[in-house]
Structure 1
């Protein structure tokens, strides 16, 4: 009996060690990937210190369409457009595998943002604070009122002001185009009614393009943080 108990305890000990090693390896792999992702974008960010070097960036990745930056956050990344919305989900700017992927434009949008009625930009909410993790700051206090989202393109700079910010289940029905101004205006009013942040601008010109910046949230299953913006 004692031998059987000892055998069971030995098996349990070995199983516990195996589980610990497995999870330890997973943590190490995630740390390694996060560091690689950080190093990749830190190098790419060096091409923007004296103005954005579009020529250099396009040589690295011709899919680049813009650059997004928000003061007071770590958001300072190139924006790309893939063939589908999965192209850059786990592919970095150098087109190598990375869990953090890229910040990317909806594949149904035009790469020339001036031609879009609704520009949608996605990015991962990384637990180490990178990519679009800081987007959740727009849901706190006066951050959304005091901070603009700067979206640079080779043609112009968009100064975007949030008019609606909230978290909800993933919305796979966000329209890219509208049949007419009435439909667009109705959609904007629907977004405004969802706004959960007081004291931010509650206006958006339905004659101009609207912008949605979105990332994952961890309040609930399949939740997203949405920041809907208009040009200032």
Structure 2
């Protein structure tokens, strides 16, 4: 009887200890995510003004009527004072995506550092360090899939046609101009796929790559990429299988 009681209390203590450890780890993660969320909220308030409705003509779609776009006004001088590695501000209307995009010396630093350099597992959106700015045929922007819905968590919603139709474009605001990213493909990719290929030996190879990624898309788009187009790829984690990623590809146009 005594042995049973001892074993019982050992089990109770073991389970209680496990719950306490799990609870502490969960709290630490929640606190870190919350700190990251607050940091980006504060950053937006300090360098981004309230979006203003601006008449704009989409250059790639002929005869389209003038439309009203609500785009953030970004103080890039203030942003560069915080982090001189900033290359732009990524914005998707009516979603949580409104974040600065730096480009570091490698693809590791911003996985666990906020834009202001604070160490945090939420990290930051960032442009692939191998890209020559945004001038290449394919420029890749990475960001974590956050369980609290921030950063690139919403990208996975592009698996649904209705979500794509509600959010067909993103905007990358840079110090020089504003780029429109007209999405044409989104899908789950394996870590060894060519979704993140940056350079191509010829226009023919690039065109073949565009055809492959278009065929894989979860949604149907009227945007058909050409081998003369530039592409921006948005990439985040996915948990469908080990090493899975969710990627979105869009054709780049200069809005203004």
Alignment TM class, shorter chain as reference: over 0.9
Asked if 2 retains the 8 angstrom alpha-carbon contact of 1:164 and 1:202, the reply is: no
- Shift of the alpha carbon at 1:172? 5.7
Choose which of 80, 103, 108 in structure 2 pairs with 1:86: 108
Which residue of structure 1 aligns with residue 238 of structure 2? 217
Which residue of structure 2 aligns with residue 166 of structure 1? 187
Which residue of structure 2 aligns with residue 3 of structure 1? 2
Q: Describe the superposition over 1:72-101 as per-residue Cα deviations: whole angstroms up to 9, x where unpaired.
A: 211110001111111110110111111110
1:207 aligns to 2:228 (yes or no): yes
Question: Unmatched 5+ residue regions in structure 1?
Answer: none
Asked if 2 retains the 8 angstrom alpha-carbon contact of 1:66 and 1:153, the reply is: yes
Which residue of structure 2 aligns with residue 136 of structure 1? 156
Q: Distance in 1 between matches of 2:151 and 2:202?
A: 34
Which residue of structure 2 aligns with residue 19 of structure 1? 18
- Shift of the alpha carbon at 1:219? 2.4
Q: Distance in 1 between matches of 2:49 and 2:11?
A: 55
TM-score computed with the length of structure 2 as normaliser = 0.85
Q: Describe the superposition over 1:167-199 as per-residue Cα deviations: whole angstroms up to 9, x where unpaired.
A: 13224643211122111111101111111213x
Task: Provide the aligned C-alpha RMSD in A.
Answer: 1.4
Which residue of structure 1 aligns with residue 141 of structure 2? 121
TM-score computed with the length of structure 1 as normaliser = 0.94
Asked if 1 retains the 8 angstrom alpha-carbon contact of 2:159 and 2:186, the reply is: yes
Q: Distance in 1 between matches of 2:197 and 2:161?
A: 29
Which residue of structure 2 aligns with residue 49 of structure 1? 49
SS at match of 2:84: coil
Asked if 1 retains the 8 angstrom alpha-carbon contact of 2:160 and 2:218, the reply is: no
- Shift of the alpha carbon at 1:127? 0.4
